[in-house]
Amino acid sequence: MIMVHVAQFFWGWLLASLLLGFAMGWISVVQRGEGVAGAWGRALWALVVVLVALALSRAVPGRPGYWLDLGLVMFGLYLAGCTVGAYLRAWVVARSTPPA
């Protein structure tokens, strides 16, 4: 990814996104709330798909284009952090619960 070459200016925020994702993933396994699902959830994912499409097609010019790329990279790392955190928590929970 070309963004790598300018990552020196925002790597801290990328790391923060990853850690935030890890934390949210960790929590999401045991949290009992409703979350955002159904129509809202689909709409949000659709929004993400649209934004990714815009970024890949480089349709947004100048600074907004850069901001979009940066936002999507941060979101991507956030999702990666969430996934890792959730699976790790799920693994920990499964180990600590005695087999029924």
Question: Dihedral of CA 70/72/77/78: which sign?
Answer: positive
Judged by beta carbon, residue 63 or residue 98, the one nearer other proteins is 63
DSSP sequence for 83-100: HHHHHHHHHHHHHHSPP-
Instruction: Give the type of residue at 46.
Output: A
Instruction: Give the type of residue at 8.
Output: Q
Judged by beta carbon, residue 6 or residue 92, the one nearer other proteins is 6
| Binders of other proteins in range 2-61 (CB under 8 A) | 2-3, 5-6, 9-10, 13, 16-17, 20-21, 23-25, 27-29, 31, 33-37, 41, 44, 58, 61
Judged by beta carbon, residue 6 or residue 100, the one nearer other proteins is 6
